[in-house]
Amino acid sequence: MKIKLLTFSAFVIMSITSCKKDGCHECHYDGPSGQIIELGEFCGDSLETIEANGYTDTSGVNHVVHCHGH
């Protein structure tokens, strides 16, 4: 019984701490035709930077970036 309780407790602690994942979120911008362009996952300082500065595509156009849950 004690081993099951310890195993369950360890699992809960690992689940809680791994969910934070340094504040990572999926990000995208709205393309010129209204389509959503996925940029992938950004974390920590990279997340703050992409949201503050936007994303510049290959043609030199800067887009406002939206990140889910942030």
pLDDT tens figures, 32-58: 888 999 999 999 999 999 999 999 999
| SS3 readout for the chain | CHHHHHHHHHHHHHHHHHHHCCCCEEEEEECCCCCEEEEEEECHHHHHHHHHHCEECCCCCEECEEECCC
Per-residue pLDDT, averaged over 62-67, amounts to 96
What is the reported pLDDT for 55? 96
- What is the domain partition of the chain in residue ranges? 22-70
What is the reported pLDDT for 66? 96
Per-residue pLDDT, averaged over 9-18, amounts to 46
What is the reported pLDDT for 23? 84
What is the reported pLDDT for 65? 97
